[in-house]
Copies of this chain bind each other. A is one copy, B any other.
Amino acid sequence: MDDRDNERVRIGIVGCAEIARKLCRVIALTPNAVLQAVGSRSLDKAKFFAAENGLSSTGVRLYGSYKEIVEDPSVDAVYLPLPTSLHVQWAVAAARHKKHVLLEKPVALDTTQLDQILEACSSNGVQFMDGTMWLHHPRTLSMRKLISNPQLFGYLDYVYSSSTFCAPPEFLESNIRVKPDLDSLGALGDLGWYSIGSILWAVGYELPVSVMALPQVTCNSAGVILACSASLFWDRSPGCQEPTEPASATRRTVATFHCSFMAHMSMDLTIIGSNGSIHVKDLAIPFEENSASYEFTPLAKFVDLHIGWSAKPERTGILSEIPQEALMVQEFASLVRDIKRKGLPPESKWPEISRKTQLVLDAVKKSIDLGYSPVYL
């Protein structure tokens, strides 16, 4: 038996959603993971998925139920791309069977549900990670270095994020992501997750003091959100030492996001500091798979007569040898292996990030339900 094979984390995919194809492909590109099993609601669906994704002649086990795959002792970890309303049931079941959990976003319908999942993972000593892929792209690390540099970036003033795509009319009424019994958070869950997550990332995961949804949310006939916007407020600039001049006593950070199933594709993240600003246009899914870029404008001033800028945006290109979702699986598998082989405790960073994102998402939903009132966290 090959020692390297022995070390690979054996992953089971629970549910054959469209996005499962994406993960299925990259598990093969990930050196420390291997696809062990695929489970669907019926064996026919699992077989169809296997055939469609070139798994037929591999040794991948196929199951006609979610129960069988989460109980399979040869499976180390599960990837759950199920509708959000099924997450608690199957993530908890997997954790109880000592499976590490890679859970698609949005992770839960609310923080109460997420806490059930996190408690099950914690008490069973298994790793939890949500499926936010862009956090694992090397571009994200490169931008983090920039905004952590007080000289280059300064304190954080404003964040703008958009997460939109233009879904066809039939999607808006009948897709899983807009069905009240399957994904009742609609665009706020599916797309707002990225925006909220990117804003929290920008502020170093300091929770806002308050959150306010902006009026005029758009819903479909079942009342599921198709488009909404919200703002997040901090009463000081997070993570940065305050300068000493008088006006700075009240330096504050504001963030605004817009998410919509009814607008042209956009994945903007704009972060304005006191000394520089960052612009990204393809945060959640880069334009191209193996490279991505961002623009940083450092210390720009007006030139004399205010007829131009002293500095222009500088583009930084970042190559990614394997796709961001493979890097996510690699990181997840690496943590799982450390738990299995070294007896290390699960990494708490990932569930903490998910929980903060969910807390803010809940607050936005509550603000909408309260008629766009501010909600304090």
Binding site for B on A (CB under 8 A): 18-19, 21-22, 25, 154, 157-158, 160, 162, 164-166, 169, 172-173, 210, 212, 214-216, 218-221, 226-227, 229, 231, 233, 235, 243, 245-248, 250-252, 254, 256, 258, 260, 262-266, 268, 270, 272-277, 279, 281-282, 285-289, 295, 297, 299-302, 305-309, 312-313, 323, 325, 374
A-B pairs, top 9 by smallest CB distance, nearest first, are: A157-B263, A169-B245, A172-B247, A265-B300, A216-B252, A256-B256, A158-B258, A287-B309, A287-B312
CB of A251 within 8 A of CB of B246, answer: no
What are 10 A-to-B residue pairs whose CB atoms are below 8 Å? A172-B247, A212-B214, A220-B246, A248-B262, A264-B277, A265-B301, A266-B297, A268-B270, A282-B309, A285-B309
Shortest CB distance A375–B (Å):
12
> Which residues on B sit within 8 Å (CB–CB) of A169?
243, 245-248
Instruction: Evaluate contact between A164 and B157: CB separation under 8 angstroms.
Output: yes
List B contacts of A268 (CB < 8 A).
160, 270, 279
Contact B289 A158 (CB under 8 A): no
**Shortest distance from the beta carbon of A239 to any chain B beta carbon, whole Å:** 16
Cα of A307 to Cα of B22 in the assembled complex, Å: 8
A276 to chain B, nearest CB (A): 5
**Residue ID in chain B nearest A256 by CB atoms:** B256
Interface hub of A245, A272, A273, A299 (most chain B Cβ within 10 A) = A272
State whether A262 touches B281 (Cβ < 8 A).
no
Find chain B residues with CB under 8 A from A229 CB: 158, 231, 254, 256
- A158 and B297 contacting across the interface, CB-CB below 8 Å: no
Beyond known contacts A166-B275, A218-B247, A220-B246: 9 more, CB 8 A cutoff: A22-B305, A157-B262, A164-B272, A214-B233, A215-B374, A254-B258, A260-B272, A281-B313, A289-B308
Decide if B264 touches A297 in the complex (CB within 8 Å): yes
CB nearest neighbor in B for A232: B214
Chain B residues with CB under 8 A of A252 = 216, 218, 227
**Closest residue of B by beta carbon distance from A22:** B305
- Chain B residues contacting A218 (CB-CB under 8 Å) are 247, 250-252
Give chain B residues whose Cβ lies under 8 Å from the Cβ of A281: 279, 295, 297, 313
By a CB distance below 8 angstroms, the chain B residues around A263 are: 157-158, 272-274, 277
Residue in chain B with minimal CB distance to A265: B300
Nearest CB of B to A311, in Å: 9
| A307 and B285 contact, Cβ closer than 8 Å, known pairs A218-B252, A264-B157, A272-B162 | yes
* Contact present for B247 and A226 (CB under 8 Å): yes
Give Cα A227 to B251, complex, Å.
9
- In the bound complex, residues from chain B placing their C-beta under 8 Å from that of A266 are 270, 272, 277, 297
Interface centre among A212, A216, A251, by most chain B C-beta atoms within 10 angstroms, is A216
Q: Which B residues are CB-close (under 8 A) to A262?
A: 157, 247-248, 251, 274
Find the B residue at minimum CB distance from A270: B268
Residues of chain B within 8 A (CB-CB) of A158 are 162, 164, 229, 258, 260, 263
Alpha-carbon separation in the docked complex, A287 to B272 (Å): 17
Could you say which residues of chain B place their CB within 8 Å of the CB of A285? 302, 306-309
A216 touching B166 in the complex, CB below 8 Å, given contacts A262-B274, A264-B300, A276-B264: no
* Distance in angstroms between the alpha carbons of A221 and B286 in the assembled complex: 44
A157 touches B254 (CB 8 A): no
Q: How far is the CB of A156 from chain B (nearest CB, A)?
A: 9
